[in-house]
Chain A
Amino acid sequence: MSEIIVKPEFDEKFEDDVRKAITLNEREGLKSFVAGLEANYHEQVHHETIVRPLYKKKWLMMAASFLLLAAAFFTFRTMSSSSPSQLAGQYMEAYPNGYRPITRGQSNDADAEWYALTIYEAGQFEKAIPLFQDLPDQNSDIRLFTAVSAIETDDLVLAKKELTQIISKKDRLLKPAQWYMSMVMLEEDNVDAAKKYLQTLADQPETASYRDKAMEILKELN
């Protein structure tokens, strides 16, 4: 038997206020994401200034020993392209922290999640892993940071465990989880499994994340 519901008389003003209140609530979350974009932007610029000279140096070294390497290189090319684990090394990058960006001047030492992310952003992955694992809220973001830290420290068993959990949830972190799972598979020389994840990412629409990189790796593997 259905319950009789008396509809309250909600005036338009009240509903409009509810709409505005929710918009402001949601905006708070978006604000932290946008604040993180500036940090990401600087990270990129910083990364380029550091990496470029190294590439140059590496190129000079390669050029100097070109004659010695050429024979080995071509022999290697005839057998296969870069090895799977080499490809993983080329493409592996830590997942950026857009989840809860750490901004300069922020001080919240009592917050374990904030502290773990600070350590992660500092590239201290080995130290970050137990900090993430101790957090009470093991959501997909935290699991992904744990997995990435595990890959960075060659703990592929832990990485697979965390990524499997995220993939099974099929939430918004499905694609990054598939991407990092493909990195794990490449590290393990499990080419077939890596291809499976990469193909899923490559089959996405043109503008989708990871699509281009997945296609590049697949090309190398085939």
Chain B
Amino acid sequence: MSESLLTEDQRATITELYNDNRDRLVGWLISRGKDKTDALDLYQQSVLAVTERLVKHGIDHFRQGLPAYLFSVMKYMYYLSLKKKGDKSVDPLEDEKVLNISADIEEFMLEPDDQIVNLRQKMQELDKKSYEMLRLFYYEGKSMREIAAIMGYSSEQVAKTTKYRVLNKLRKMIKNT
């Protein structure tokens, strides 16, 4: 919804990660035949994927360290781009170094279908509090107990009930289109 999701520390972490690795990783792509624009696009996509993981899972998710994780993500995306162009000489899944991030990136690379596009449109019609409830649960992975505390509900059960109401409302909105 907005970049305000990033804390100041997260912003500083990603900014430092971006600046420290940009030349080396973009250079890595250029040395493998990418032109500068494509290399930069791929690098930014990789940083975006890492940023998303950081917001969703926190810094503890990156056991191998952020720069190593970023490089793995970028390599994985690079191999996928080769495969998409019909280059069968490289299979991303055969590269052991990127194996442990393939699941992370799988979700990132998914193309949205019509249902999801429709859902996104309908979500714009939800009030701010309803959207926040869904965001905390589905995006940040907060428990209903945590959500109750964050949003000021009197109990976990009230938060649960509210979530069902919001989902129900959303489903009705979809049905009426």
Interface residues of A (CB under 8 A from B): 5, 7-8, 10, 14-15, 17-35, 37-38, 40-41, 44, 98-99, 141, 172-176, 207-209
> Shortest Cβ distance from B172 into chain A, in angstroms?
9
Chain A contacts for B161, CB-based, 8 A: 5
Report whether A30 and B48 are in contact in the complex, using a CB–CB cutoff of 8 Å.
yes
Contacts of A27 in B (CB 8 A): 48, 52
In the complex, what's the smallest C-beta–C-beta distance from B138 to chain A, in angstroms?
Answer: 4
- B134 and A22 form a contact (CB under 8 A): yes
Tell me how far the C-beta of B48 lies from the nearest C-beta in chain A, rounded to whole angstroms: 5
Establish whether residues A176 and B8, one from each chain, have CB atoms under 8 Å apart when the complex forms: yes
The majority secondary structure among interface residues of chain A is helix
- Majority secondary structure of chain B interface residues (helix, strand, loop or mixed): helix
Q: Residues of B within 8 Å of A, CB-based: how many? A: 43
Instruction: Give which listed residue, A25, A41, A209, contacts B9 with CB less than 8 A.
Output: A209
Q: B4, A23: Cβ atoms under 8 Å?
A: no
Cα distance A221–B19 in the bound complex, in angstroms: 31
A18→B3 contact, CB < 8 A: no
* B103 on interface, CB distance cutoff 8 Å: no
Alpha-carbon separation in the docked complex, A22 to B40 (Å): 26
B7 and A172 within 8 A (CB): yes
Whole-angstrom CA separation of A7 from B167 in the bound complex: 10
Indicate which residue in A5, A34, A44, A174 contacts B44 across the interface (CB closer than 8 Å): A34
